[in-house]
Amino acid sequence: MAEQVCCVCQRPVRADAPRLGKRLYCEEHYAKVLHDRKSVWRSGIVTIALLVIFAVVGVILAGIVKPLLEGTALLLMGIILAVIPAALWLIFFYLQDLLEPEPKPYVIGVFIIGALLASAVGIPVVRDLFRVQEWVGYSWVTNLLGSILVIGFVQEFLKYAAVRYSVYMLPEFDERMDGILYGTAAGLGYATLLNIHYVVDSGGVDLQIGIVRIVITALAQASFAGISGYFLGRAKFEEEPVWWLPLGLTIAAVLNGLFTVILGGMIRTPAMITGKAAAPWWGLLWATLVAVGTLGILLYLMRRANRLTLANAPSA
């Protein structure tokens, strides 16, 4: 008879060891699987609040001070602004995660992988291979299909891959919550490169509009990556059906595409009515609602999964 081992650390366990589905666990890792990990939720909500404050204060200050930046100085300022959302999340996550810190190299590594995949694959595929910028606005049907089937699936698959084919396979990925944590890191990496490309391709940006757009991108990309991360966290520690991970990826991609379509309508409509561009405040509100709503739903689903596991656990 084959030796029974913990599916996380591979240490031998007894026949009556805790299990999820057919997977056995040592006591330590079974407790970790059910860990609520409040640091993830706290850092998430604090970062959302700070990003909204950052956008509002930044736009107000830029309007008052009216800095005379151009050329290289404007480009560098835009790049710095593009990095701030990820920096805020990393700082506040580690301030909240002091008791059981996640390995910093892994979190930063997934962030970098997400950024590299955006630059090397995501942006070239969407912009140069499918050339969505040339046809996606032809009609509402092409806009919707292009936003979901091209932009949504490309972005969400790459963020999913940044986690699935890196830290997901390591013993340090030892909690359900790790899926959401590393998914968020990948999403912020992807968002950072999208924002840097936006700044560089524009040769620098209007600071007021640029700050709001950077925050919108960060909130959206991190939120949708957290959804696929939730599905990854469940799949790692439970016996889920074969369609489980494709379902998570599809939900994230569809929401990504719908978000993009609705956001475009919110930003373009006021400009068409007034005849001038303005800081997309409606877009910021929409991104904030999506980020808060996604975080709340993921919190509910994760805690529900933990409650069901405890309720179905065999009594001692």
pLDDT at 205: 77
What whole-number percentage of the chain has pLDDT above 70?
85
pLDDT the model gives residue 316: 43
CA-to-CA distance for 75 and 15, rounded, in angstroms? Answer: 62
Question: SS3 for 302?
Answer: helix
What confidence category does residue 265 fall into, taking pLDDT thresholds of 50, 70 and 90?
A: confident
| Domain-wise residue ranges, the chain | 34-312
Strand partners, 19: 24
pLDDT of residue 162: 97
Q: Which of 48, 124, 121 is nearest to 89 (CA)?
A: 48
196-199-204 Cα angle (round to 5): 145
In degrees, to the nearest 5, what angle opens at C-alpha 134 toward C-alphas 268 and 157?
90
Flag whether pLDDT at 191 surpasses 90. yes
Q: What is the pLDDT of residues 267-289, one digit of tens each?
A: 765 554 444 555 578 889 999 99
Q: Name the band, by pLDDT with cuts 50, 70 and 90, for residue 120.
A: very high
Residues 145-163 have a mean pLDDT of: 96
pTM of the full structure: 0.89
Instruction: For 146-169, give the secondary structure using H, E and C.
Output: HHHHHHHHHHHHHHHHHHHCCHHH
User: At 138, is the pLDDT very low, low, confident or very high (cuts 50, 70, 90)?
Assistant: confident
* Mean pLDDT value of segment 244-255: 97
Mean pLDDT of the chain, nearest integer = 85
pLDDT of amino acid 96 = 67
CA–CA separation, 94 vs 100, rounded Å? 10
Per-residue pLDDT at 275: 46
Sequence-distant (6+) residues with CB within 8 A of 21 are 238, 239
Q: What is the pLDDT of residues 215-237, one digit of tens each?
A: 999 999 999 999 999 999 999 88
